[in-house]
Amino acid sequence: MITGRMTGALRDAGLSALIALGLFAPLIGLLTENGEHGLGLRGRPFAVAVVVVLVFLGRLIMLSRAPRTVAARAEGPGLAMRRAGRALAPALLVFALLLPLGGSRYYVDLATLVLTYIMLGWGLNVVVGLAGLLDLGYVAFYAVGAYSYALLAEAFGLGFWTCLPLAGIMAAFAGILLGFPVLRLRGDYLAIVTLAFGEIIRIVLINWVSLTHGPSGITGIPRPTLFGLAFSMDGGAGTFAGFFDIEPETIQRVTFLYYVILALALVTNWFTLRLRRTPLGRAWEALREDETACRSLGINVTNTKLTAFAIGAMFGGFAGAFFATRQAFISPESFTFIESATVLAIVVLGGLGSQLGVALAAIVMVGGLELLRSFLSFLAENLGSDLFAGIANELPLYRMLVFGLALVVVMVLRPRGMVSTRVPTVTLGPA
């Protein structure tokens, strides 16, 4: 009996390896290279062999594990995780508040980046996680926010704090403009329309040179001020350093930017948590679960979706304005589909609708990967190893591959999220 299962598993794994050979032999095994006489081929049999063996072993391991029931799959991380989450969230918050005290510029910069993605994730979470609308062009609203601020600052000399709400409003407006006609349609059409919209925005940004300066981007975007105190290096009377009578240093500005994005992200979180308890928030969640039932209960489906879409876009716009002020330079390069995909991967991996899950996913996917890269290059420098240096250089290339795989694997194994699960706020009967 057991040997029967073993042979079956071996045969199955062998078949998988054979298919893998067919899939990967040409694309991995034969590299197209530019030689002297145009393109040529270079063989890489070793790489193919490694991949095929990996597939064989992977399949064998998959088959040897006992099959889980459907119920166990649907259940997700469950109660223990939620209880742990209650303690984890305040701990993370305290850690985030104290982080700059460490005084390391590298970590503060990295944390700022992670927080930007957390904020984007929370913004997209309103759209995808709560209302169940798949938005594949979220980066468009991020771009609208960033360019709104950059252009307003350039044309009218407005400061960051004036432009922040304006950037949010502009992004929300873009969301309404796009959503109004499209949201009446079936859900999956929305996905492809938002995908197309993201591309349209990027192409317009590249080609409308008279307004956006085209591919060269906008430089010299003003930095934010603390109640009118600038973080400039001259240390004059109107600056932060001059007012408090201390030496001006870059770390002060970096730390200030960190607290700005932390505050923005926390506002996003608080706003979302409050919204979820309003009738509107309940309607979103109901919409996610069953649209037809919502309609029959008299919920205005289009308006409810539109609100979610606009609010999500607004948070994207805020994050965009922050991105512009932090970088002091923006160009269409920063707003590609890869960004949308990254944010979507964070939301999906974190668990659609779960605030804490999104934060954890962003920390792992953005922060963890960057730490891994810097650790590998640190090893490469100290050990003088070419292997580690190579991996560190190649790592960004594999980033999107990992994100894409994560989307598929999460959907297949735990559709409601890897890290945490957001169950509907109210349910009928014993949950």
Partner 1 sequence: MAYAVQQLINGVTLGMIYGLIAVGYTMVYGIIGMINFAHGDIFMIGAFLSLIALLGLASLGITAVPIALALTLIFAAGLAALYGWTVERVAYRPLRGSFRLAPLISAIGMSIVLQNFVQVSQGARVKPLDTMIPGGFQIMETDGFAVRLSWMQIAIAVTTLFILAVFTWLVTRTPLGRRMRACEQDLRMASLLGIDTGLTISVTFVIGAALAAVAGLMFLMYYGVIDFFIGFIAGVKAFTAAVLGGIGSLPGAVLGGLLIGLIEVFWSAYFSVEYKDVAAFAILIVALIFLPTGILGRAEVEKV
Segment lying near partner 1 (by CB under 8 A), choices 60-68, 188-196, 255-263, 367-375: 188-196
The residues near 398 (Cβ < 8 Å, ≥ 6 apart) are none
**Rg (alpha carbons) of the chain, rounded to whole number:** 25
Among 1, 91, 408, 428, binds partner 1 (CB under 8 A): 408
Q: Facing residues of 319 across strands?
A: none
Q: How far apart are CA 379 and CA 79, in angstroms?
A: 40
Query: What is the footprint of partner 1 within residues 288-317 (CB under 8 A)?
Result: 292
Segment lying near partner 1 (by CB under 8 A), choices 81-89, 311-319, 381-389, 406-414: 406-414
Q: Is residue 72 near partner 1 by the rule CB under 8 A? A: no
Segment lying near partner 1 (by CB under 8 A), choices 91-99, 184-192, 300-308, 322-330: 184-192
Per-residue b/e over 263-280, b at no fewer than 16 CB within 10 Å? Answer: ebbbebbebbeebbeeeb
Residue 21: Cβ-neighbour burial (10 angstroms; 0-12, 13-18, 19+): middle
Question: Smaller CB distance to partner 1: residue 166 or 196?
Answer: 196
Site string for partner 1, 320-339 (x = CB under 8 A): -----------------x--
The residues near 15 (Cβ < 8 Å, ≥ 6 apart) are none
Q: Is residue 395 near partner 1 by the rule CB under 8 A? A: no
Q: Give, in order, the Cα–Cα distances in Å from 15 to each of 21, 48, 64, 66.
A: 10, 16, 16, 20
Segment lying near partner 1 (by CB under 8 A), choices 78-86, 138-146, 252-260, 392-400: 392-400
Question: Smaller CB distance to partner 1: residue 68 or 83?
Answer: 68
110: Cα separation from own chain's centroid: 15
Q: How far apart are CA 294 and CA 301, in angstroms?
A: 7
Segment lying near partner 1 (by CB under 8 A), choices 117-125, 183-191, 297-305, 369-377: 183-191
Q: Is residue 34 near partner 1 by the rule CB under 8 A? A: yes
Among 195, 301, 371, 423, binds partner 1 (CB under 8 A): 195
Size of the site for partner 1 (CB under 8 A): 59
Residue in 338, 288, 335 with CA at minimum distance from that of residue 308: 288
The residues near 172 (Cβ < 8 Å, ≥ 6 apart) are 310, 311, 313, 314, 317
Residue in 372, 320, 406 with CA at minimum distance from that of residue 117: 320
Query: Shortest distance, CB of residue 283 to partner 1, whole angstroms?
Result: 17
Among 130, 136, 362, 392, binds partner 1 (CB under 8 A): 136
Query: What is the footprint of partner 1 within residues 106-125 (CB under 8 A)?
Result: none
Q: How far apart are CA 138 and CA 30, in angstroms?
A: 37
Among 187, 215, 238, 390, binds partner 1 (CB under 8 A): 187
Query: What is the footprint of partner 1 within residues 244-263 (CB under 8 A)?
Result: none
State residue 219 phi and psi, 5-degree precision. -115, 170
Q: Is residue 397 near partner 1 by the rule CB under 8 A? A: yes
What is the binding site for partner 1 (CB under 8 A)? 19, 22-23, 26-28, 30-32, 34, 38-41, 128, 132, 134, 136, 181-182, 185-189, 191-193, 195-197, 199-200, 203-204, 206-207, 292, 337, 341, 344-345, 348, 352, 397-398, 400-401, 403-408, 410-412, 415-416
